[in-house]
Amino acid sequence: MGKLEEKTIEEILVESSIKNSIKGLRTRKINNIKDITNDIINEYKLPKGYTIPILRDVIFKYLFVTEPDIFTKILIKAFDIKEEAKDAMIMAGYESLSGKYDGKNNRCDILVKINSKNYINIEMNSNSDNSVLERNLLQIFRICGQVVKKGESYKELKHYRIILLNLNKSKKSNKDEIIIDEDDNGINKYVFYNLKTAMVASNLVTIYQVDVEKCKHLLYNNNEINETPLLARLGAISDEYKISRIMDMLGDAITMEEKNKLSKILEDVNNNDTIVQNWIFEENARLKYEGDMETSFNDGVEVGKEAGIELGKEAGIELGKEVGIELGKEAGIESSKVEMIKNMLNQNIDYSVISNVSCKTIEEIKEIEESMKEES
C-alpha cells in the first residue's frame, strides 16, 4: 500500500461539520445520561462511512469486547509484545485505588490486559498540558501494585510489562506550525535507565508519549503507509472519523478479512443508540471540563496581567517563578513578560535571575534593555 491520499474537499467539509457539531455539545445542559433524548442521539449520529474515533473510551470498549482478537493483535504488533495473548480483556475506566492512605484516586481511560503479565494503559489527552506525564505516572505505578498477584515472588516482576500510552492532542496544536525533522515520528519513548551506564535498569514500565498531530502529518507525507510505525498510525487513527481511512492507516497490521469485520462493526456503532448516547455523555462532560479549565485559565491570565507585575515588585521573584513562568509557558503572554523583565531590570536584578524567571535568554533580556534605553 502506497502513500495515504490527501483528503478531498468533501471529506474536509464533512469532518469540519462533525467537529463543530461535537463542540456544540459543551452548551448542552446534560447532567444525567437520561437527559440525552432520542432527538439528541439522532442529531449527533454521523454520516454513513464515518464513525466516532475508535480510541474514545466507550467506542474502544465496545470494539474490543466485540472483536478482542483483532485489537489484541494490533496492540501486540504496535508494542512488539513477545508473549502470546491469553484471556485478553479490557478494563475501561479501571480505577487505581489509593489504598488505606488518604490519596487521590485516578481512573484510567482504558486499561487492556493482554495476558497475566502484560498490561496497556491508554490515555486520550485531548487537552494535553505539562502535567499529563506526571499525572499518569501516579496512575501507572498504582496499577503496577494492583496487577501483581498476591503472594507472588518479587523475582516474577522481571516478567511483567506495563505500558502507558499517552495519545496527546492539544487544542493549541496547529498542523501548519508542526516542524518534523527527518527522524521525528511523533513518538517519545521513556524507560528507566542507569545514568552512569546508560543501560536500561527496569523494563517493568514503558511510557510512550504520542503526538497525534505529528503522527497525522507524518502519515500524510510518507511514501509508504506500512513503513510508518504502527504506533504512529494508531496516533493518527485516534483522531480519524472516516472508516475507509482508518482501514488504510492500519495497512498490513490486520488482514483484509479483519478489516471487513472492523468496518462493519464501525458502521454498526453509529447506529447503536446506547453507544451514541454514552459517547455524547462522555464528550459533553469532557468539553465542559475543558471549557471550565480554559475559562479559569483566561481569567487567571487577565488577573496576572493587571496584578502580576505589582505583586512581583512587592512579593519578589518567587511569585514570578510560581506564576509568571507558568503563564508564559501556557499562554505566551509576551507583553506581560516583557513588562515584568523591564521592572526587574529597573530594580537592577541580575540577568541570570531574570532569565530563570522569564525563560528568556540573557541576549533577549539585553535586547529588551536596549529598547528601554531607546524609549527613554
Structure confidence at residue 128 (pLDDT): 53
pLDDT for 307 equals 53
Tens-digit pLDDT profile for residues 125-144: 765 556 677 777 877 887 87
- pLDDT band at 257; cut points 50, 70, 90: very high
Enter the pTM of the model. 0.68
Ranges of each domain in the chain: 9-282, 290-375
For residue range 316-326, what is the model confidence (pLDDT) as tens digits?
Answer: 555 555 555 55
Q: Are 93 and 107 in contact (CB under 8 A)?
A: yes
Cα gap 266→252, rounded to integer Å: 19
Span 54-110, pLDDT tens digits: 877 778 888 888 888 898 899 999 998 888 888 788 775 555 544 444 555 556 678
Q: Is residue 334 predicted with pLDDT exceeding 50? A: yes
Task: Please give the share of the chain, as a percent, with pLDDT higher than 70.
Answer: 74
> What is the structure's pLDDT at 320?
54
pLDDT tens digits for 166-221? 888 765 544 444 444 545 678 889 888 888 888 888 888 999 999 888 888 888 77
275 vs 97, which has greater pLDDT?
275
